[in-house]
Structure 1
Amino acid sequence: MITEQSLNRIWEGCLNNERKQQELLYKLLAPRMLAACMRYASDRDEAQDIMQEGFIKVFSSMGKFRGEGSLEGWIRRIMVHCAISRYRKQRPVLLADELPEGVTLSYNESGLEAKELLKMIEQLPDNYRNVFNLYAIEGYSHQEIGAALGISELLSRTTLHRARGVLKDRLSRLNGREMHKLAC
């Protein structure tokens, strides 16, 4: 486990254009950043592309990190912004009336492992997955999500509500099948 202090020492080397330190930073953070990118990508290849683009931005804008907050958090935020940017370029934003109806999911009531729940989130339509991830996982506000995705705050709220509905519906169906298996 790498500490924030040792990460900051590596960062100092990166700021001095020490290639070995840049490579070390990449190797240390790539698995975590790839996991963050996977939440927004259609597949692993796309996530790797997003991550590569993100690290290019990290190394080209090193001087912009002001030391406020954690370095890893700053880098993760760049990765998320790269994913959002790719999403906005590739896919048109859907209007609220084009989205299916749903109800809210307030917690993981199914007892699924986190890995299984993340797989369900991955299967959401892109706009649902992105809003859900930005809000529930990254902690963005609806105002920030709206600005990042070029949608209204209301559409962000609606999309989150509907994404939760889709997840709840899938969890209910999964629970129904599990109960049916137990009854047989």
Structure 2
Amino acid sequence: MDKKLQILIQKCVENDRNGQRELYTLLSPVLYGICLKYMRNKTEADDVFQDAFIILFQKINQYKFEGSFEGWAKRIFVNEALEVLRKKQRRLHVEIENSNLNNSIEDETNEPSIMVSHDKLLKHIQQLPDNYRMIFNLYVFEGYSHKAIADKLKMAAGTSKSLLSRAKSLLRIKINEELNEKVS
């Protein structure tokens, strides 16, 4: 680990405001990107970002200088985003559809790849329903397996696979619609 980062972490453990500001500045771009991927819009992402940084500073003394600090921080941000989405689901009484969960879901690797700008892709991901967006981000960006996602979100692995398939399908439709509009 970089010596400067170690010093910054130690300053944060000691509640040094300048150290916290420096760490915030250093990690903000990456951690804010996580919030944008999980939340539907910038306002929700801003709220999660702020709350997750508060949690990070409250728990920074628990970091044991083992493994990547950035990875440790990312887990806090992902977990906070997931918690916000879980609370939102409970309030809205959203239930996961159980239809076709036992069907095998094939990976669509035979389809041609389509180039889309990062900003456009992020916009489309943010428009996904919450469950789809959570699963898509955990699987594609965070590298979780369907079993790990299922354990984390207390659902069946088949549900995770189904929601990922639906998320990919919706993204494909949105991207194709956008491409067709450009061609017209």
Moved over 6 A (4+): none
Q: Which residue of the partner structure matches residue 131 of structure 2?
A: 127
Q: What's the CA shift string for 1:5-34, capped at 9, x where partnerless?
A: 422221121122222111221222223211
User: Is 1:45 the counterpart of 2:47 in the alignment?
Assistant: no
The 5 Å alignment of 1:1-184 reads: 4-91=2-89, 92-97=94-99, 105-106=108-109, 109-179=113-183, 181=184
SS of the residue 2:137 aligns to:
helix
Q: Structure 2: 5+ residue runs without aligned partners?
A: none
Range 105-114 or range 18-27, more displaced: 105-114
In 1, distance between residues paired with 2:14 and 2:57? Answer: 11
Q: What RMSD, in angstroms, separates the aligned Cα atoms of the two structures? A: 2.5
- TM-score, normalised to structure 1's length? 0.83
CA separation of 1:52 and 1:93: change in aligned 2, threshold 3 A: farther
**1:98 offset after TM fit, Å?**
9.3
**1:90 offset after TM fit, Å?**
1.0
Q: Structure 1: 5+ residue runs without aligned partners?
A: none
Range 71-80 or range 53-62, more displaced: 53-62
Percent identity reads 34
- TM-score, normalised to structure 2's length? 0.83
In 1, distance between residues paired with 2:136 and 2:3? Answer: 32
In the alignment, is the contact (CA less than 8 A) between 1:104 and 1:168 conserved in 2?
no
Q: How many residues align?
A: 176
